[in-house]
Amino acid sequence: MGEYFERRHFYREVLSIKRGFLSDSLTRAEVDSFASALTQTASRLISIEEVIKHHFSLTQVMRASDFSECLIPTICISLSAHGLEKDNFLYPLRDTCGCSFYWNVDIAFLGAVKEYLERQFLLRFWLTKQCQALFSLGKVECLLRGRNVKYLYDALIFSGEVSIFDISDKRFPGVCLLAVYGQNDGDRHVKYCAGMSYSGDVGEALEKALLELWQTYRFMDLFKSIGSDERKVEDDYLRYFMTCNEYGTYREITDYLVADGDDRETSLEFSLEVFLSVLNGLGVSGYFYSRRARINGVNCVFAKYVSPDLFLHMNNSKNINLRNSYSKSFESLIFSSRLNKMVPFP
């Protein structure tokens, strides 16, 4: 239900307050960051100078660094191109990365940052093949001991193959786990599926990753069993993910490397304050969009975190700001073969 309200808001209810230049309320460094990102996400060749001189529809946000107000392009927030036709070519591929919906503003902001970062970690893993670890069967069973999701895990490994990757970035608190399922039986409806979760607790992250995998698995299984047409799936990412339903996808994503070093920081508090401190230390400028609302008489908050210094969306195969502050540390490790194929995740 929350996902419905979230998507409805970001598709239909994000408003711009004026048209203007990036420099109307942003510093020169901020303008340069947006201009650099948008020259890469644009659907046609455009120079940084042209972006700087472009008149954007602008929406009010807050800087994550000090919560001061400023204006950024509405296309960085809205999922719809309606009313943004003059700007849409600069950022045509947009998704729900960094969007959140909660009843409390602090939790909404934390959820937005957490959701944004886990997708950064996923893209880094896909592009470089590097992870912190592949969990052993013994470790998974130990972490799931006493949790009901253990029965689901047992059923999945009885049916096919399951791999659990720690794709965390050691500079940030918590642990981000990617769970992938593979099945080599051509008669099965589901041959590849995936789920991911980012949490301050490794057991909780594992449980939620498996539940997310199962949620998508059930949809795919039902979809196939009733003979539905994949081409009619409206969500672009889900439609693409359905085309990845092959055991070969599982084999490809489990072709991995363990990152060098074993100095992961595990003592950092899993809090909004710490996340923002780490991002600031890495030179990442971010922005929070928020809007309060009431649903059935209950207060709620729609929020989105966005940063031109991070990957702006999840389709790494085209129109993405591949060169950014975050990717600098692993740019030389990216496999060119992975650049041409979008990460297989719903």
For 18-32, the pLDDT digits (tens) are 999 999 999 999 999
Whether the pLDDT of residue 263 is over 80: the answer is no
Q: What is the pLDDT of residue 267?
A: 77
Q: Quick one: 36 and 81 in the same domain?
A: yes
Same domain, 52 and 163: no
If you average pLDDT over every residue of the chain, what do you get? 96
- Cα gap 105→109, rounded to integer Å: 6
Say whether both 115 and 163 belong to one domain. no
85 occurs within a structural domain: yes
Compute CA 220 distance to the chain's CA centroid, rounded to the nearest angstrom: 21
Determine the pLDDT at residue 188.
95
The yes-or-no verdict on residue 173 having pLDDT over 80 is: yes
Is the same domain home to 231 and 297?
no
Contact (Cβ atoms closer than 8 angstroms) between residue 271 and residue 92: no
Q: Which of 228, 255, 282 is the last residue of a domain?
A: 255
| Domain CATH number, residue 189 | 3.30.160
* Of the residues 220, 255, 290, the one at which a domain ends: 255
Residue range(s) defining the domain that contains residue 143: 130-255
pLDDT over 90, % of the chain: 90
pLDDT band at 266 (very low <50, low <70, confident <90, very high): low
For residue 234, the model assigns a pLDDT of 84
| 94 and 13 assigned to the same domain | yes
Our count of domains for the chain comes to 2
- The model's confidence at residue 229, banded by pLDDT at 50, 70 and 90, is confident
Does any domain span residue 261? no
* pLDDT at 87 (0 to 100): 99
Same domain, 169 and 197: yes
Residue 150 lies in a domain: yes
Between vectors from CA 164 to CA 107 and to CA 146, what angle results, nearest 5°?
70
Render pLDDT for 50-109 as a digit per residue (tens, 0 to 9): 999 999 999 999 999 999 999 999 999 999 999 999 999 999 999 999 999 999 999 999
Backbone φ, ψ for residue 333 (5° rounding): -100, -5
Give yes or no: residues 115 and 134 share one domain: no
Cα–Cα distance, 5 to 114 (Å, whole number): 19
Per-residue pLDDT averaged across 186-215, rounded? 98
pLDDT of residue 227: 87
Same domain, yes or no, for 245 and 146?
Answer: yes
Please tell me whether residues 144 and 206 are part of one structural domain. Answer: yes
Q: Is 261 exposed, middle or buried (0-12, 13-18, 19+ CB in 10 A)?
A: exposed
Residue 181 and residue 209 in contact, taking contact as beta carbons nearer than 8 Å: no
Q: Summarize the confidence of residues 310-333 as an average pLDDT.
A: 97
Q: What is the mean pLDDT of residues 283-301?
A: 95
pLDDT reading at 34 higher than 90: yes
Residues 105 and 141 in one domain: no
263 in a structural domain = no
At residue 86, what are phi and psi to the nearest 5 degrees?
-75, -20
* Structural domain includes residue 262: no
Which has more pLDDT, 231 or 321? 321
Return the pLDDT at 228: 86
Q: 28 and 140 share a domain?
A: no
Residue ending a domain, choose from 203, 221, 255: 255
CB atoms within 10 A of CB 11: 13
pLDDT above 70 as % of the chain: 98
Confidence of residue 264 (pLDDT cuts 50, 70, 90): low
Give the predicted TM-score (pTM) of the model.
Answer: 0.96
